[in-house]
Structure 1
């Protein structure tokens, strides 16, 4: 498959995207080409805010410093990593996103420790084993220099192990798409390919690949394109959770004209 042979067509607007997929032998197959994609850029869907309580906590590092100040509830800890340990090693990892101290008080069972109420978004990172019979919770937080340091330990984290619904997927629209035979087959039988994927190649104005994204092939619908002719517009159920930020649009627009001719244009 030659990109140069696929990057042009006899229409008044350019090809900006190619859809390709590797077969079982690792050979790229051409699935289609498009004039546009709507929904490619987007900020991550924010996690719902939750209330958690660190029970029997011995705060350290950034958490200890925050609790010692007069305005603990007005400052964020940023991301707090919670490691769940058995007797020997961590077996689960959680991230508390934008963790904020709501309140804190001495632990009734041990006045030397604190019960700390946090507000945060909760993200499960990894789990090797189930919850140990007697878990230990180690806390880590970031510093102003970007390092991660210990923030203490606690005997329990109320609210951590709740059932959480997955965020609703955000659709992606392929606009002005000319499907090749593999994509036509997927459109005829969308359920057979809903667990499949394709690679979206982003082209610059010279037809060179300037970026790529992996897209799931769960197809919600297809219809005659707003651009007319024999083209179709295709809706994918989920455009993915790692889309580039809208703040990157100017950079992509610059690269569309060709690679930059001076350094550090990305720095701002």
Structure 2
């Protein structure tokens, strides 16, 4: 007999992962291991013809948010996240740029000149571009190993039809070693196969189609493994990371915060912001989150989210005061940023404006 979630409370207590149906909130099952959670997400590939650098050569990681801006101002820019490049192709004037597309992608029918920036500086321009279709690849499955299935999953596996094995939209809920919610990954859960698990009697290994799941990038694995142990005990645990991995750290901070209840401090509280490591945008929001809510704390991941935190229930009550130490570091690195369309923008000044509008009086030191 296959034990179920309700029949084995100890498995629920030890489990890191819970596969939950999003429509009704029922648990399909719980397990301690998810093989295939980490991998390489599908990436859009663009060949930029007639590429001209504007500064340093574009090679390797190009930025967490790289914008392609059409020369025609009537057309909007589009985004490549976590963009990478192998540099210019040999014996050509082309640059290959890859990254997960945003939901819009390039304007319909547009193949003309574009200019590219990373939110801070112009990287270069091209006379035209083409989106390259990637070769057909079979995505590795997501395997939930040592899964204790719930009643609904057990019934679906017993029935075994294609319709029964389509579990529809689900969330893979993930908790840390302390049993506290950390994050979740949405997927369309279709069972490809299952088998008895070597991890224990009455447990199964459930294999889900990989085409319907976006894995966590491999570069973020050490960040996730650090957070599996629980939140940091001291501030600045992220300070030694590069911008790419700071972004992964901020993603987990944000997602964890959305699953927690925050206790607002009373009005007129004084906060202290350690600005020594604010050399990029993720560092700005990580330091700000820790200033308000302690190590691993969250208080916005962009200006719009910061505005929400100032007016919501994220540990803050207006009015308040903040002493920003070593503010010159952020001023140096964040005063010359760019909007998606490439227009100059002062993020440092914009942040101060949002804080002031939210009742936070900031003293720069």
TM-score where L is the length of structure 1: 0.64
Q: Choose between structure 1 and 2 for higher RCO, CA contacts under 8 A separated by at least 6 residues.
A: 1
For residue 173 of structure 1, report the CA deviation from its aligned partner: 1.4
RMSD (Å), alpha carbons: 4.0
Aligned to 2:322: none
Take 1:213 and 1:7, find their aligned partners in 2: how far apart are those partners?
A: 26
Contact in 1 for aligned 2:22/2:169 (Cα 8 Å)? no
Q: Which residue of 2 aligns with 1:33?
A: 30
1:140-162, CA deviations, whole angstroms, 9 ceiling, x for partnerless residues?
133xxx604373452x33xx144
1:118 paired residue among 89, 95, 119: 95
In structure 1, the residue matched to 2:342 is none
Does residue 53 (structure 1) correspond to residue 45 (structure 2)? The answer is no
- Structure 2 counterparts to residues 75-224 of structure 1, below 5 A: 78=62, 81-84=67-70, 88-90=74-76, 97-98=84-85, 100-102=87-89, 116-121=93-98, 124-125=101-102, 126-127=104-105, 130-132=108-110, 136-142=112-118, 147-149=120-122, 151-152=124-125, 154=127, 156-157=128-129, 160-165=130-135, 167-187=137-157, 188-189=159-160, 191-192=162-163, 194=166, 196-224=168-196
Higher helix share: 2
Name the CA distance, whole Å, in 2 between partners of 1:196 and 1:130: 31
Question: Which ranges of structure 2 fall in alignment gaps of 5 or more residues?
Answer: 241-365
Query: Cα distance, 1:120 vs. partner?
Result: 4.1
In the alignment, what sits opposite 2:214? 241
In structure 1, the gaps of 5 or more residues are 67-71, 105-114
Instruction: Give the aligned partner of residue 254 of structure 1.
Output: 229
**Conserved? CA contact 1:190–1:219, under 8 Å:** no
CA distance in 1, matches of 2:80, 2:232: 40
Larger Rg: 1
The 1:180/1:263 distance shift into structure 2, 3 A limit, reads: same
Aligned residues: 226
What secondary structure sits across from 1:218 in the alignment?
strand
Structure 1 pair 162–214 and aligned structure 2 pair: CA distance change class (3 A)? closer
Moved more, 236-245 or 213-222: 236-245
Separation in 2, partners of 1:261, 1:123: 33
- Contact (CA 8 Å) 2:44, 2:101: kept in 1 or not? no
